[in-house]
Amino acid sequence: MDISKDFKLIKHLAWDDVFEIMRQNEDYPGSHWISLWQKRGFNSWQEWRMTYVKRFKLDRLDWQLYEIIEPIKTVPQLCGGSFTSWVKRFYQGEDNPSFAKLAEHPEIQAHHGIIQFMDNFPKNTIISGVILGDKIIIVEGMHRCAALALASLQGQKIQTKMQICLAQHYLDKLPIAGQNTD
């Protein structure tokens, strides 16, 4: 993937700006994420998401905001994040597979939340990812990325203006984060 070709730099972002974008994507009245973090024993969205932030060391990175020029073409090349549930259910032993590969998985093709996104994709949306080696790994926006990759696989067109908060990571590999991790 060629960042200079597939992405257009918009501006530098402070970590607090990135975290606020994540919050706006997940912490709103009626969000299905509320019941998830409550079931897991967290007192707030912030408390829940900070476990991922700390595990992935996201607050230590230098962030930029980019426009993804052709989301339906580019997003399938992005890679899934190191989240326990995704690793166990869909990755089949592979580290951070591409969304193009994930879209071929029968459970992804039947996943209610992903299908809902395909049917009603946001007109404007922002995801977050980190660059590790030659991969861009998504740390927020997994379902939206899977929906775009599945739409691409099925030949469906989705019109969206998509941006990505992106940072070069200094780790060689992201640790797995989520339920049942240290």
Cβ(136)–Cβ(129) below 8 Å: yes
Sign of the four-CA dihedral 182, 49, 40, 175: negative
Q: How far is CA 177 from the centre of its chain?
A: 13
Q: Which two tokens stand for residue 9?
A: 């730099």
- pLDDT tens, position by position, 76-115: 999 999 999 999 999 999 999 999 999 999 999 999 999 9
pLDDT confidence of residue 1: 63
Nearest 10 degrees: CA dihedral of 97, 102, 106, 107?
Answer: 90
pLDDT confidence of residue 182: 43
Distance CA 11, CA 102 (A): 30
pLDDT at 180 over 70: no
Cβ(66)–Cβ(163) below 8 Å: yes
Nearest 10 degrees: CA dihedral of 182, 59, 11, 136?
Answer: -20
CA distances from 122 to 6, 81, 92, 126 (A): 20, 21, 29, 10
- pLDDT tens, position by position, 8-54: 999 999 999 999 999 898 877 777 788 888 888 889 888 988 989 99
Total-model pTM: 0.93
Q: Looking up tokens 């990175």, which residue turns up?
A: 61
Q: Mean pLDDT, to the nearest integer, of 175-180? A: 78
Residues 6 or more apart in contact with residue 174 via CB below 8 angstroms: 56, 81, 82, 96, 130, 132, 137, 139
Q: Which two tokens stand for residue 6?
A: 């597939």
- pLDDT tens, position by position, 119-175: 999 999 999 999 999 999 999 999 999 999 999 999 999 999 999 999 999 999 998
- pLDDT tens, position by position, 52-82: 999 999 999 999 999 999 999 999 999 999 9
